[in-house]
Amino acid sequence: MAATYEPIATQTLGSATGSVTFSSIPSTYTDLILIFNGGADGSGINICARFNSDTGTNYSTTRLMGNGTTATSDRVTSGSMIYGTVLSNATLNSNAIFQINNYSNTTTYKTCLIRTNATEVRLSATVSLWRNTAAISTIVLSPEFTGNFTSGSTFTLYGIKAA
């Protein structure tokens, strides 16, 4: 893995921003890793993503979450985005790690693993499905496509090659 872990693009927000887009993702890698560090301007807002700007109800998500008191699990089917969990409110104290395996194949639907860490609120492990066989060339991230990421939030997309 170490020999093929390459940065594709990175963004740092200079102001509160509703969404962040990585477009024209090359198909030359095997897997993608996206690292987020930041927060959302508001309480109880989940980090979410869409692929190839698809706004249809073509996503499903299953989450395992813990808030420091109880562990729970929930599920969304036919959603219009995939879900991590709640981010820190107006601080840069949370992070999320997206792992998208085999993102450029054109045969299978795409799955995504997300670890979201917001120590002040909760943490989660998520598995999501995008019911589309297209290669992923665009990733759009947003606090539920209604809120803003906190200024100073950072996003970096890495590509991993199997060979």
Partner 1 sequence: MAVTYKLIDKVILSANQASVTFSSIPSTYTDLSISASIRTTQANVYGSMKLQLNGSSLSYTSREITGDGASATSTSRTIVDNGLFTGNADGASATTNTFSNANIYIPNYLSSNNKSLSIDTVMENNATEAYAYMITGLWSNTSAVTSVTFAWSASNLLSGSSFYLYGISKS
The residue ranges that bind partner 1 (CB under 8 A) are: 1-8, 10, 35-37, 64-71, 91-95, 97, 115, 117-120, 122-123, 125, 152, 154, 156, 158
Instruction: Compare residues 27 and 78 and give the one whose CB is closer to partner 1.
Output: 27
Closest separation in Å from C-beta 4 to partner 1: 7
Instruction: Compare residues 95 and 104 and give the one whose CB is closer to partner 1.
Output: 95
Of residues 25, 35, 33, the one with CA closest to residue 1: 33
Query: Residue 140 half-sphere exposure, CB side, CA atoms within 13 Å?
Result: 15
Instruction: Report residue 77 as tokens.
Output: 């089917």
Closest separation in Å from C-beta 111 to partner 1: 18
Instruction: Compare residues 82 and 123 and give the one whose CB is closer to partner 1.
Output: 123
Instruction: Compare residues 47 and 130 and give the one whose CB is closer to partner 1.
Output: 47
Closest separation in Å from C-beta 126 to partner 1: 11
Contacts of 124 (CB under 8 A, 6+ apart): 63, 64, 65, 66, 84, 85, 114, 115, 116
For the chain, the residue count is 163
* 3-class secondary structure, 105: coil
CB 52 within 8 A of CB 132: yes
Closest separation in Å from C-beta 134 to partner 1: 25
Closest separation in Å from C-beta 58 to partner 1: 27
Which backbone phi and psi does 3 adopt, to 5 degrees?
-80, -10
Instruction: Compare residues 130 and 143 and give the one whose CB is closer to partner 1.
Output: 143
Cα separation, 24 vs 15, whole angstroms: 24
